[in-house]
Amino acid sequence: MILRPKLAPIIDALPSTVPFVGPEAQERARGDVFRARIGANESSFGPAPSVIARMAEAAPEMWKYCDPDNYDLKAALAAHLGISLSNVVVGEGIDGLLGLIVRMYAGPNTPVVTSRGAYPTFNFHVAGVGARLVPVPFRDDREDREGLLEAVKRENAPLVYLSNPDNPMGTWWEAADIQRFADSLPETTMLILDEAYGELAPESARLPLQVTRPNLVVMRTFSKAYGLAGIRCGYAIGEETVIAAFERIRNHYGVSKMAQIAGEAALADQDYLRSVVDRVMAGRARITAIAEANGLTALPSATNFVTIDCCGGADFAGAVMQTLLSRGVFIRKPMVPVLDRCIRISIGLDRELDIFAEELPAALKAARGG
């Protein structure tokens, strides 16, 4: 018998799973690279040329540690958003910030409310502190605000997660609807509003910042519209006492010097951001047209992906995805019941969408047994 240090009980009880199998792992398994990488909601358009130039200029400085205060990036964010530095905290993408806020408000057996099928990394953070996830099904392919509110009140939950626009369906609520939801929550319940795709949504869907509200934290990222998924940089906006709590436990050297420089440069180039938003809108229209040409239904989207109803149930959608993967087209799909009738296609470069358009009919035929 081999003696070894014992894991903490919470960690020892967790299953040996990960929320995502990355395209790199799938490429290693298949022994070939994907011809179209349109499954991870990255921006194939990449960061602005001005950002790339600034990163290249800064590369020789990477022998230095980062500024643990993230001061220049925080100052740029505060100026961009019209808020105080005390109302914003920077972290290793929204994923890292979600882990912090779960630690801040949840512990063993704490009820935490989210939507069943919503961003799974949040669920892993909840499980990692031993809290109890309370999932609420989507309704009509959107996160169910009334159902989430009912679960919060029934469970007396201190934490609720809502994304707007949402992943994996790409749907959204108007800001007025989100405001009513926030106003209906108990004052003792913290609302995590994930706006990872906010720059790509209609302006009417963006909730005005409310930095004096103690039970609302808004999370945003440089991964999507800004095209910087690889640097892992996001930020949270909230009331100063809440932000101060993040500062107590965050990894102060977690956001690299390059990430801080790239984020600041990205904020400075809003013209490029607007051009990306235009290209994403064109890409949504293109994917919608491809879906309709193949007898499928594309859901309206406010994100950099389009969710397509394959109109044949979960097994059929899964077969379509697997055939596309085997043909070098990396896509993903929702995995929970009802939502799992769909596949999800990220907006890609024209050549990537050309490949998708070429391979989709064969994938549908194979899924139908042809």
Domain ranges of the chain: 21-46+271-367, 49-268
CB 23 within 8 A of CB 331: no
CATH architecture of 21-46+271-367: Alpha-Beta Complex (3.90)
Residue of 269, 370, 320 whose CA lies nearest to 39: 320
Q: Which regions of the chain are under pLDDT 50?
A: none
| Residue-wise pLDDT tens digits, 9-64 | 999 998 887 777 899 999 999 999 999 999 999 999 999 999 999 999 999 999 99
Rounded Cα–Cα distance for residues 318 and 312 (Å): 10
Residue 206 C-beta-side C-alpha neighbours within 13 Å: 14
Q: How is residue 219 written in tokens?
A: 């999370």
| Residue-wise pLDDT tens digits, 306-339 | 999 999 999 999 999 999 999 999 999 999 999 9
Alpha carbon of 222 to those of 263, 292, 317: distances in Å? 7, 32, 31
Q: Which CATH class is domain 49-268?
A: alpha beta
Q: Give the pLDDT of residue 350.
A: 97
pTM: 0.96
Rounded Cα–Cα distance for residues 353 and 348 (Å): 6
Q: Give the pLDDT of residue 17.
A: 75
Q: How is residue 339 written in tokens?
A: 């939502």
Residue 123 C-beta-side C-alpha neighbours within 13 Å: 17
